[in-house]
């Protein structure tokens, strides 16, 4: 991009229906050729050969041969020796904030007497074994460890395992330890998902797999989840995205910085600015260009900005209509009295109110979770939380009187659905009650 003029503004109300639809369409995730079959082959080999396959794939993909996949408990306990006090303090601060927020998220147990003699309950239980996947890359993703490990720990899952590509950095191991994770395996990619999905001699089969990853990891999660008796998954994460709504009080420097912070995630990232203020849009274009020049990942950002959108609307309410249609992963409101507009938002993964709430804070330390629905799934799905590591179990208990009170209604409903055996399960009981205890039913 040789000039800020390459960024174009689009007048929403001059667009046709099909043009509006196109503006809010995410970039297509370009899968490598035959990725579905290649991932299926990896899953099959791990399922068949277990640990041997995992060692083989570590050698092929990560160019390393390990004596054992599991990091020893002693190594986990001793982790942190080479980490500075400054880093430790930052990690502890983030953990304390995230823990404080997530501790409020438990399902509530319910106990209710519907009518005399008919009692219903909802009780909560943690998932038994959960698997957390933390991607590798150029830097250790300790924030992902916190966002996955903290709610799993609060939910009191009986066994929490973590997989990440070798060699796992000490700071990641140390963060996992602080989050209550003491079972860590050095395996990454599709093969890690396969190991947690099927189980091997070293790695247990988990009930549910959590965590982001590249297209290979996402495809593996999809395939595992679709198999009979396959592990459940948190969500299928797509490319990162942000939509910013700005009024005339917004700072173009902040807007550009927030757009670029999401654009640097990858070439498929999607960033949108919606504003009724043409002046804000024009100043933001200049800031995008100027800030882009000093960013080390500008080669990635330039690709993602090709799919960026700067949309001019008639008013703020039109911006909210666009946002609710798009259902962004991240929604930033750089507007005056932003909290007053929450009532107008129905679809968003995570919302950032006002001029002083950068999405970066949510990624690391404000307290909310950064594992969020993408690709429009915010219309029906929520960001990760403690309840994703729990399950609700429903309980009911009827007394003799309670069953008798319901029996006539049950008879009508079962006859409508023509389920005679359902009716008999009730009438055998009611007949017994009437024959044996009709005059002395105490409930």
Q: Give residue-wise pLDDT tens across range 273-282.
A: 999 999 999 9
- Non-local (6+) Cβ contacts of 220 within 8 A are 39, 42, 43, 189, 190, 193, 194, 197
Flag whether 265 is marked binding.
Answer: yes
* CA atoms within 13 Å, Cβ hemisphere of 105: 27
Cα–Cα distance between 5 and 386 in angstroms, integer? 46
Is residue 329 part of the annotated active site? The answer reads yes
CATH topology agreement for domains 4-27+239-367 and 35-237+387-391: yes
DSSP-derived secondary structure for 196-255: HHH--SSSPPPSEEE----HHHHHHHHHHHHSTTPPEES----S-EEEEEE-TT--HHHH
The single residue listed with the structure tokens 């800020």 is 4
pLDDT of res. 137: 78
pLDDT < 50 stretches in the chain:
443
291, two tokens: 């800030």
The response to whether 234 counts as a known ligand-binding position is no
Q: In sequence order, what DSSP letters do the residues of 36-67 get, joined into one string?
A: HHHHHHHHHHHHHHTHHHHHHHHHHHH----S
Tell me: is residue 303 an annotated ligand-binding position: no
* Candidate list 329, 359, 370, 377, residue with the active-site label: 329
Q: Is 330 a catalytic residue?
A: yes
Q: Where are the domains of the chain?
A: 4-27+239-367, 35-237+387-391, 399-437
Distance between CA atoms of 194 and 96, rounded to whole angstroms? 32
pLDDT tens by residue, 388-438: 999 999 999 999 999 999 999 999 999 999 999 999 999 999 999 999 975
Q: What is the pLDDT at residue 144?
A: 97
The radius of gyration computed from the CA coordinates of the chain, to the nearest angstrom, equals: 27
CATH ID of 4-27+239-367, from 3.40.50.300, 3.40.50.1980, 3.90.76.10, 3.40.50.150: 3.40.50.1980
Under DSSP, the state recorded for 25 is: P
Q: In CATH, what is the architecture of 35-237+387-391?
A: 3-Layer(aba) Sandwich (3.40)
- Residue 255: name the closest of 278, 288, 300, 279 by CA: 288
Has 334 been labeled as part of a binding site?
A: no
Q: Which residues pair with 159 in a beta bridge?
A: 129
**Which H or E run contains 111?**
strand 110-115
CA gap 59, 304 in Å, rounded: 32
């Amino acid at each position: 991009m040789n000039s800020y003029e390459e960024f174009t503004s689009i007048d929403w109300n001059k667009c046709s229906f099909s043009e509006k639809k196109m503006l809010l369409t995410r970039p297509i995730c370009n899968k490598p050729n035959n990725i579905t079959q290649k991932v299926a082959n990896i899953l099959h080999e791990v399922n068949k050969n277990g640990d041997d396959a995992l060692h083989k794939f570590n050698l092929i993909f990560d160019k390393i041969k390990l004596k054992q996949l599991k990091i020893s408990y002693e190594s986990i306990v001793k982790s942190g020796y080479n980490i500075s006090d400054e880093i430790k303090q930052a990690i502890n601060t983030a953990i304390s904030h995230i823990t404080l927020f997530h501790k409020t998220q438990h399902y509530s147990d319910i106990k209710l007497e519907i009518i005399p003699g008919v009692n219903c309950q909802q009780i909560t239980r943690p998932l038994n074994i959960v698997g957390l996947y933390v991607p590798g890359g150029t830097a250790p993703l300790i924030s992902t460890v916190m966002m996955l490990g903290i709610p799993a720990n609060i939910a009191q899952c009986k066994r929490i395992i973590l997989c990440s590509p070798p060699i796992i950095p000490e700071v990641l191991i140390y963060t996992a330890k602080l989050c209550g994770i003491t079972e860590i395996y050095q395996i990454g990619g599709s093969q890690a998902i396969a190991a947690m999905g099927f189980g091997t001699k070293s790695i247990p089969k988990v009930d549910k797999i959590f965590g982001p990853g590249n297209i290979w990891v996402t495809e593996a999660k999809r395939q595992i989840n679709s198999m009979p008796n396959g592990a459940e998954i948190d969500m299928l994460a797509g490319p990162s995205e942000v939509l910013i709504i700005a009024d005339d009080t917004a700072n173009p420097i902040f807007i550009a910085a927030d757009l670029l912070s999401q654009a640097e995630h990858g070439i498929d990232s999607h960033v949108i600015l919606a504003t009724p203020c043409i002046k804000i849009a024009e100043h933001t274009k200049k800031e995008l260009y100027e800030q882009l020049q000093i960013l080390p990942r500008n080669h990635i950002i330039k690709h993602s900005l090709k799919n960026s959108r700067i949309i001019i609307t008639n008013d703020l309410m039109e911006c909210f209509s666009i946002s609710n249609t798009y259902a962004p992963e991240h929604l930033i409101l750089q507007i005056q009295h932003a909290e007053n507009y929450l009532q107008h938002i129905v679809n968003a993964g995570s919302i950032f109110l006002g001029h002083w709430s950068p999405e970066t804070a949510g990624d690391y330390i404000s307290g909310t979770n950064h594992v969020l629905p993408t690709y429009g799934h915010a219309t029906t799905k929520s960001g990760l939380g403690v309840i994703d590591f729990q399950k609700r179990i429903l309980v009911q208990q009827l007394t003799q009187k309670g069953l008798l009170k319901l029996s006539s209604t049950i008879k009508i409903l079962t006859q409508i659905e023509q389920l005679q055996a359902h009716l008999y399960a009730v009438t055998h009981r009611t007949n017994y009650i009437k024959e044996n205890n009709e005059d002395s039913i105490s409930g």
